[in-house]
Chain A
């Protein structure tokens, strides 16, 4: 039985995502207990290998099909690496790549998969994942017995500190397997978030709206408050899905993670995907007419008044 842990590096262009370091930190912890290596699979140009100093090995495959994230190419490459390197555990982030790769490899590599992990530890050498399911209402402690396993991890679950430790990993270049030369899909166009728009991840104060806002025209009311506070307007998913705000304003699991000094939430119920994006804020004040809304479980202060009364009241006071 192998005792290495393999992490799939998540890259966006020339950058490695935070999740890679979080997973690498956890990989080192587990690998050390097993007496194995904490390796990172890096696809595409190998230049980013020097950012993975905390890894024991960087397993690199470079091929034109891997220059962007392309599900089929990544799957083939990763399967190849798994077969070559036979790690005990594969760690993936619960982002798009993880949602593409994890379950497929569970079948192809014949390994059990524990999804939505927020915790991962060893019990007598056996990896035990704490997984968050049913909208955050249930936690499951899942043991991954057997020779190999896969775990997809929710972002922000682990500290990335040791994942960025100094070191000099061995870089192993694996020749691209021939199946990478054929593909049944191709990337046509990549859409970056609108340039020139505000970066909500750097704001000290955010004014955020959710479904309680009702209609696009009502956004103006809240925009006035945001202007009066000198803060950007952000939102939960339904607002950007409807196109009322650009995607760059979306806070949450599939949007952006923010940690402002203060986060004002108007008409946001607090679905787990949204909470994932903002629960780290220093001060959270939530306004929702439903006293049972889950947002109140993470907010520091709350009020059940109607946002259409509170927002103008706030704007009025600020303008004096």
Chain B
């Protein structure tokens, strides 16, 4: 079974975001980029599926994504069997879906696991777009995947603690919300070993450039509406103040 995990590099959210002079985009030049945390979850789930049922895991990134090599080598260090860098790139999901679909038509997968969303996918999420282009069934917001013999059993999550289990015929695309366990740690030593060994394949594809069709008029930081009044003192002093706050609202007796 071939499991493909498309990965996206996104701005590290600890960074302060600055905007372009026109104010219609973010200034990406000095940002640090990290692996999309939902894709990290998808990679973990893929490795768990491989550990449970066998198969091989291929991590796939787009060559123009900043620092994508880091994410691909980390995936190899965690146990992915191969890593592929597909030519091209794009900030919008429509373009990315076209490139990845072109790759997947050439090198089909039985199961495609990727993050349900990315922090910057303004024009829509990858898994459904990829599935639509490939004509495959898809399920998003998945928190567990079991796969074997041409079919997958997935757990799809709704709000309020509800969820459902679906059986899906493979090949299929799954948008992962969370893996069954937290993404494993890749020790730097292993990542460096993998980097030395090389092994990221580079692949060129041709794809149209679909336009997302959005006109971004303005990008800006939301105004902070306020900040908490900080309570001073040690734990005892703070506890007194908290009790008083609750008491004055009738939430604590006495």
Is the A/B pair a real complex? yes
Residues of A within 8 A of B (CB): 12, 68-72, 95-96, 99-104, 106-108, 111-116, 128, 131-146, 149-150, 152, 155, 184-194, 204-205, 229, 241, 246-248, 250, 253-256, 261-262, 264, 282-287, 291, 295-306, 309-310, 312-314, 316-318
Closest to B17 in A: A137
Closest to A128 in B: B217
Q: Does B161 lie within 8 Å of A256, measured CB to CB?
A: yes
Find A138's partner among B17, B94, B226, B230 (CB 8 Å cutoff): B17
In whole angstroms, how far apart are the Cα atoms of A284 and B101 in the complex? 46
Q: Does B224 lie within 8 Å of A297, measured CB to CB?
A: yes
* A296 in contact with B236 given A99-B140, A138-B219, A186-B167 (CB within 8 Å): no
Task: Give, as a whole number of angstroms, the nearest-CB distance from B158 to chain A.
Answer: 5
Query: What A residues does B241 contact at CB under 8 A?
Result: 301
Task: Give, as a whole number of angstroms, the nearest-CB distance from A278 to chain B.
Answer: 14
Q: Does A299 lie within 8 Å of B228, measured CB to CB?
A: yes
Task: Give, as a whole number of angstroms, the nearest-CB distance from B101 to chain A.
Answer: 10
Find A302's partner among B17, B133, B175, B228 (CB 8 Å cutoff): B228
Q: Does B224 lie within 8 Å of A185, measured CB to CB?
A: no
In whole angstroms, how far apart are the Cα atoms of A187 and B156 in the complex? 10
Q: Does B166 lie within 8 Å of A313, measured CB to CB?
A: no
Task: Give, as a whole number of angstroms, the nearest-CB distance from B152 to chain A.
Answer: 9
In whole angstroms, how far apart are the Cα atoms of A54 and B97 in the complex? 38
Query: What B residues does A284 contact at CB under 8 A?
Result: 228
Residues of B116-152 whose CB lies within 8 A of A: 116-117, 119-129, 131-133, 137-141
Chain B 234-254 near chain A by CB (<8 Å), digits 1 or 0: 111011111101100101100
Top 4 A-B pairs ranked by shortest CB distance? Answer: A112-B213, A193-B161, A247-B161, A302-B228
Task: Give, as a whole number of angstroms, the nearest-CB distance from B163 to chain A.
Answer: 5
In whole angstroms, how far apart are the Cα atoms of A104 and B125 in the complex? 9
Find A104's partner among B138, B177, B242 (CB 8 Å cutoff): B138
The contact sample of 23 A-B pairs, CB cut-off 8 A, is A96-B158, A99-B117, A113-B214, A133-B120, A133-B122, A137-B17, A138-B17, A143-B215, A155-B159, A184-B169, A186-B166, A189-B165, A192-B162, A262-B245, A262-B249, A283-B249, A297-B226, A301-B229, A301-B242, A303-B230, A303-B231, A309-B234, A310-B235
Q: Does B13 lie within 8 Å of A95, measured CB to CB?
A: no
Residues of B within 8 A of A (CB): 11, 13, 17, 26, 93-94, 97, 116-117, 119-129, 131-133, 137-141, 153, 156-169, 172, 175, 177-178, 212-222, 224-231, 234-236, 238-243, 245-246, 249, 251-252
Find A115's partner among B97, B125, B236 (CB 8 Å cutoff): B125
Chain A interface secondary structure, helix, strand, loop or mixed?
mixed
Q: Does A104 lie within 8 Å of B139, measured CB to CB?
A: no
In whole angstroms, how far apart are the Cα atoms of A112 and B244 in the complex? 52
Closest to A155 in B: B159
Closest to A271 in B: B13
Q: Does B139 lie within 8 Å of A185, measured CB to CB?
A: yes
Q: Does A140 lie within 8 Å of B122, measured CB to CB?
A: yes
Q: Does B217 lie within 8 Å of A141, measured CB to CB?
A: yes
Find B123's partner among A115, A255, A313 (CB 8 Å cutoff): A115
In whole angstroms, how far apart are the Cα atoms of A133 and B10 in the complex? 12
Q: Does A142 lie within 8 Å of B216, measured CB to CB?
A: yes
Q: Does B172 lie within 8 Å of A107, measured CB to CB?
A: no
Task: Give, as a whole number of angstroms, the nearest-CB distance from A102 to chain B.
Answer: 6
* A256 in contact with B116 given A297-B224, A318-B252 (CB within 8 Å): no
Q: Does A286 lie within 8 Å of B228, measured CB to CB?
A: yes
Q: Does A107 lie within 8 Å of B97, measured CB to CB?
A: yes
In whole angstroms, how far apart are the Cα atoms of A191 and B155 in the complex? 10
Query: What A residues does B230 contact at CB under 8 A?
Result: 291, 296, 301-304
Query: What A residues does B129 contact at CB under 8 A?
Result: 103-104, 106-107
Task: Give, as a whole number of angstroms, the nearest-CB distance from A54 to chain B.
Answer: 23
Q: Does B26 lie within 8 Å of A138, measured CB to CB?
A: yes
Q: Does A261 lie within 8 Å of B251, measured CB to CB?
A: yes
In whole angstroms, how far apart are the Cα atoms of A68 and B215 in the complex? 36
Of B17, B117, B242, chain A has the most CB atoms within 10 Å of the CB of: B242
Closest to A72 in B: B137
Q: Does A68 lie within 8 Å of B164, measured CB to CB?
A: yes
Find A313's partner among B215, B236, B249, B252 (CB 8 Å cutoff): B236
Q: Does A190 lie within 8 Å of B178, measured CB to CB?
A: no
In whole angstroms, how far apart are the Cα atoms of A96 and B161 in the complex? 12
Closest to B178 in A: A241
Other than the given A69-B158, A188-B167, 17 more pairs (CB < 8 A) read: A95-B159, A99-B141, A100-B175, A103-B93, A115-B124, A133-B122, A134-B11, A137-B17, A143-B217, A144-B215, A261-B251, A262-B251, A283-B249, A302-B228, A303-B230, A305-B234, A314-B242
In whole angstroms, how far apart are the Cα atoms of A198 and B132 in the complex? 41
Query: What A residues does B239 contact at CB under 8 A?
Result: 310, 313-314, 316-317
Query: What A residues does B236 contact at CB under 8 A?
Result: 313
In whole angstroms, how far apart are the Cα atoms of A116 and B239 in the complex? 38
Q: Does A134 lie within 8 Å of B17, measured CB to CB?
A: yes
